[in-house]
Amino acid sequence: MIHVSFYRKPLLDGMPRKALINQCTNHGAWYQDLVGKIVLIELIDSEGYWGREGGEYNCINVIRVEDATLLPLEN
């Protein structure tokens, strides 16, 4: 078994952020039907923003950085 690890930066104060999906440059990506919607972002790393897909399994999956805009933290 090979263990692969990559740097994941914790979010500000350990709090999840929200992001607005502006576009979907990867045809067939899980978020292609979410353009214009806000999703919860749990991690940020070199691959992009990691958000919950929702649905039955609510898996965490990557969103390309160029496809979304992080929203300011709410007080």
- Cβ contacts of residue 45 below 8 Å, gap of 6+? 6, 7, 8, 9
| Model confidence, pTM | 0.76
Q: How many CB atoms lie within 10 A of CB 55?
A: 8
DSSP string, 5-62: ---EEPPGGG--EEEEE----STT-TTGGGTT-EEEEEEEETTEEEEE--TTT--EEE
Query: Residues, the chain, total?
Result: 75
Segment 22-34, tens digit of pLDDT: 999 999 999 999 9
pLDDT band at 3; cut points 50, 70, 90: very low
| pLDDT score for 11 | 56
